[in-house]
Structure 1
Amino acid sequence: MMVPVRRLWVAVLCGYLAFGAALQALPSYVPERFGGGALASGTAVGIAFLATACGRPFAGWLADAGWSRPVVIAGGVLAALGGLGQLLAPNLGVLLLARLVMGAGEAALFSAALPWVLAGTRVAQRGRLAGWFGLSMWGGLAAGPLLGTLVGDGVWWAVVALSAASAVLVLTTRRDPGRGEPLVRIRNLVPRGVPLPGAIIGLAAYCYGTVAALLVLRLRAGAIGVDNVALAVFAAAFLVVRFAGSPLVDRYGGRVVAASTVAVEIVALVGIALANGPVGATISTALAGLGLALVYPACVSMTLDRVRGLRPGVSMGVMTSFWDLGVMVAGPLGGFVAEQAGFRAAFLVAAGAGLACVVVLLRMPRRAVSPR
């Protein structure tokens, strides 16, 4: 049965454009509407990733059993409801609840769509296709902040419309993936071989989460003056390197590529921490996008190799959940460090997380392990 790959790609892109646009809006929206500083803004950014992290394994679990289509549709609906909740929230508590709903929707959207796509692909091509399909998610996260800047005050309506569009795109598909593998037991939801790549992507995610939650505030606090374009610079560098550099994962292996690019990320975060002018801040922000661009396809390659391609929906869902956990922690923890010790300290802590990521990469066994 043919899988509607292009339609699914666009549907996930729409959902994550909405998610990325919300990330751009929140650092200003929270203080202006509800008060509070870096901690409140960081928590609002990061809390959605809690729901995303919890939801991904279950979405992949259901998708492996053939329930991709209804789960993906539910994801778009939840994301739209979450966007509407953020627009209409009367207080910070309701806003945080809406962020959780949106995070759950984004988890279902991507983590059920990916196994649907992989189900129609030969095992030998799954790693490359997963990396390509991941561009729908990462492209949306990277370009969404630029979209948020362009639409200005209408950002929340754009978030709702894009999320709803993702649900409609899948709802109008005529083909269903059908039944897949039997549901595995909940206690076996984390395949062996996933935690190490998960730890790697989680530490890299802390770096990204610090950039997403605090970069705009750092540049404003330092009166550097490029806060309105910084996330767009990050997105442009990310997308260019992702498109051009993905074949490097197949050529050199996920471990080598991840270690090399995360090393660049460390330099970038230190540069953002120490920047005193717009040129240095802009260059460091571009390097941050470059440094994170290939982490996901590298971890996909390592994960699929270590689990030998079995249970791809659950494996990808669990691995990607580590990313969500890293971003979730980075928001409130980075905001707390910024309030106690300054924004420079927050970015230096993120650089330390990048260094820990490289250490894990260098110590990770090369040989794949048998899944359970």
Structure 2
Amino acid sequence: MDNLVNRSENVNLSLITYVCFTFVGYFIIGLSLSVLPIFINKSLGFSLVIAGLVISLQYVATFFLRAYSGKIIDGKGPKPAVLFSMISFSLTGIFLMVAYYFKFSPYMSLSFLVITRLLTGCAEGMIGASPINWAIMAVGEEHTAKIISYNGVASYGALAIGASLGVTIEHKFGLYGIGVLSITFGILGFLYAKIKENKTNTHPQESQSFWKVLGKVAPFGVCLALGGIGFASISTFITLYYNHFHWNNGALCLSVFGGLFVAGRLVFNNVINNYGGIKVAITCLLVETIGLSVIAFASNPEIALIGAGVTGLGFSLIFPALGVVAIKSVSPSSQGSALAGYGLFIDLSLGVAGPLIGGVADIYGMSYIFPFSAGMVFIGLGLAYLLKRKSSL
């Protein structure tokens, strides 16, 4: 019994040494997540559509880097991809500082913000599946569900912490402070990755082409993409939503979302293995739909906070639940490409969601963005149910 406990503790500690790279990356992403939409809209004077489009450029770049990162992971191991990402994250801090320096010239500042978002997307594309595969290669495929769950805790927990801290830093030091912190954490992540041993694919089978693998994971990815609309609506527009209704502490919604997201991953860590990925995904998409509906009809910020928490709880297990099923649909030698391809769909979701939801806000009004998001997630729920029906035939 003691040996089992010790073995479990050793696995958990080992996982942390890999998913910490995810934490560093998404912490840097989170630092500017809450402040850039307001900076672009209020300080530079651009529309909400432009603000959403600039934020979404990150996910467009991530989309195109996913395939490349999967090829690197399957061929050379995850370490080179992690090192590349940390360098890119450091560069984002530099260009963010330059963009803030040129705030007196809106178009010049926006141009540097575009570069910042593209670099952030490149960094996220390389870090997305790398720590997960690195950990799988280190501790074994039998821990895949736990690894994906821990990685999600690191990513969304880091986003929540970074977003709240970013607002505080921006108030005191402007985007300069966020830039300095981004550079510092990127360098620290690079130095730590540099000293860790790389792992390479030990499976003898020849890896399949990325696009063939993408076709196999696509059904699960589409459900993930629709579920990601809810996260995108909160992460990109919740501060503007609160500002629209003259409510305070909009960034707190991100923290509550992230807190319940992390709690869901930790408390319900074993439900995927016990009940299956599809069943868990259906339940989570239903809970996320309810949470977004609560925000949509909230009459005060307190109720909106509750909705954000319910949304975070619902979204918490969608990625690992569908991800475990997606990985099983390909050979072990193509796991890097499978995770990269599967992750493409959340990038696509977040990339499209920014301008799409911004357009809904500009045309119909800010109050319509969360009913719209709830509807999209509900469609994802229906598709997940169809996948379950198909798998049981």
**For residue 161 of structure 2, what is the amino acid of its counterpart?**
A
Q: Please, which moves more after superposition, 311-320 or 44-53?
A: 44-53
* C-alpha contact (below 8 Å) 1:80/1:159 kept by paired residues: yes
Once residues 262 and 210 of structure 2 are traced to their aligned partners in structure 1, the CA distance between those partners, rounded to angstroms, is 37
Matched-pair identity in %: 22
Which residue in 1 is equivalent to 2:118? Answer: 100
Q: Does 1:14 align with 2:37?
A: no
Q: Cα distance, 1:266 vs. partner?
A: 1.2
Once residues 59 and 17 of structure 1 are traced to their aligned partners in structure 2, the CA distance between those partners, rounded to angstroms, is 20
Q: Cα distance, 1:101 vs. partner?
A: 1.0
2:284 paired residue among 261, 269, 291:
261
**For residue 311 of structure 1, what is the amino acid of its counterpart?**
S
Q: Cα distance, 1:335 vs. partner?
A: 0.6
Cα distance change of structure 1 residues 232 and 270 upon mapping to structure 2, 3 Å threshold: same
| 1:111-147 alpha-carbon deviations (Å, 9 max, x no partner) | 2232222123333332332332333223222332122
Once residues 293 and 47 of structure 2 are traced to their aligned partners in structure 1, the CA distance between those partners, rounded to angstroms, is 23
Once residues 243 and 315 of structure 2 are traced to their aligned partners in structure 1, the CA distance between those partners, rounded to angstroms, is 23
**For residue 75 of structure 1, what is the amino acid of its counterpart?**
S
**For residue 131 of structure 2, what is the amino acid of its counterpart?**
A
Which residue in 2 is equivalent to 1:288? Answer: 311
| 1:335-361 alpha-carbon deviations (Å, 9 max, x no partner) | 111011011212111111101100110
SS in 2 for 1:36: coil
**For residue 272 of structure 1, what is the amino acid of its counterpart?**
I
Q: Does 1:356 align with 2:356?
A: no
Write out aligned runs for 1:102-121 (5 A): 102-121=120-139
SS in 2 for 1:276: coil
**For residue 373 of structure 2, what is the amino acid of its counterpart?**
A
Once residues 388 and 315 of structure 2 are traced to their aligned partners in structure 1, the CA distance between those partners, rounded to angstroms, is 22
Which residue in 2 is equivalent to 1:177? Answer: 199
Q: Cα distance, 1:184 vs. partner?
A: 4.5
Once residues 75 and 229 of structure 1 are traced to their aligned partners in structure 2, the CA distance between those partners, rounded to angstroms, is 28
| 1:64-91 alpha-carbon deviations (Å, 9 max, x no partner) | 1123212210111011112321221242
**For residue 170 of structure 1, what is the amino acid of its counterpart?**
A
Cα distance change of structure 1 residues 345 and 32 upon mapping to structure 2, 3 Å threshold: closer
Which residue in 2 is equivalent to 1:346? Answer: 369
Q: Cα distance, 1:169 vs. partner?
A: 1.3
Which residue in 1 is equivalent to 2:146? Answer: 128
Q: Does 1:65 align with 2:83?
A: no
Q: Cα distance, 1:308 vs. partner?
A: 5.6
2:158 paired residue among 140, 147, 150:
140
Q: Please, which moves more after superposition, 129-138 or 14-23?
A: 129-138
Q: Over aligned residues, Cα RMSD in angstroms?
A: 2.4
**For residue 361 of structure 1, what is the amino acid of its counterpart?**
A
Using structure 1 for the length normalisation, give the TM-score: 0.91
* C-alpha contact (below 8 Å) 1:42/1:332 kept by paired residues: yes
Q: Does 1:43 align with 2:53?
A: yes
Which residue in 1 is equivalent to 2:85? Answer: 75
Once residues 213 and 318 of structure 2 are traced to their aligned partners in structure 1, the CA distance between those partners, rounded to angstroms, is 21
Once residues 134 and 65 of structure 1 are traced to their aligned partners in structure 2, the CA distance between those partners, rounded to angstroms, is 24
Q: Please, which moves more after superposition, 64-73 or 306-315?
A: 306-315
SS in 1 for 2:213: coil
Q: Please, which moves more after superposition, 148-157 or 231-240?
A: 148-157
SS in 1 for 2:72: helix
Which residue in 2 is equivalent to 1:34? Answer: 44
Q: Cα distance, 1:228 vs. partner?
A: 4.0
Aligned length: 367
Q: Cα distance, 1:188 vs. partner?
A: 4.1
Write out aligned runs for 1:323-338 (5 A): 323-338=346-361
Which residue in 1 is equivalent to 2:8? Answer: none
2:178 paired residue among 128, 152, 155:
155
* C-alpha contact (below 8 Å) 1:80/1:102 kept by paired residues: no
* C-alpha contact (below 8 Å) 1:79/1:103 kept by paired residues: no
Cα distance change of structure 1 residues 238 and 99 upon mapping to structure 2, 3 Å threshold: same
* C-alpha contact (below 8 Å) 2:19/2:150 kept by paired residues: no
Q: Cα distance, 1:21 vs. partner?
A: 1.6
* C-alpha contact (below 8 Å) 2:213/2:334 kept by paired residues: no
Once residues 365 and 266 of structure 1 are traced to their aligned partners in structure 2, the CA distance between those partners, rounded to angstroms, is 19
* Higher percent of residues as helix: 2
Once residues 341 and 244 of structure 1 are traced to their aligned partners in structure 2, the CA distance between those partners, rounded to angstroms, is 39
Q: Cα distance, 1:9 vs. partner?
A: 1.9
Instruction: Give the unaligned 5+ runs of structure 1.
Output: none
* C-alpha contact (below 8 Å) 1:74/1:108 kept by paired residues: yes
* C-alpha contact (below 8 Å) 1:11/1:165 kept by paired residues: no
* C-alpha contact (below 8 Å) 2:145/2:324 kept by paired residues: yes
Instruction: Give the unaligned 5+ runs of structure 2.
Output: 1-10, 103-108
* C-alpha contact (below 8 Å) 2:15/2:150 kept by paired residues: no
Once residues 228 and 178 of structure 1 are traced to their aligned partners in structure 2, the CA distance between those partners, rounded to angstroms, is 40
**For residue 83 of structure 2, what is the amino acid of its counterpart?**
I
2:221 paired residue among 198, 202, 209:
198
Which residue in 1 is equivalent to 2:65? Answer: 55
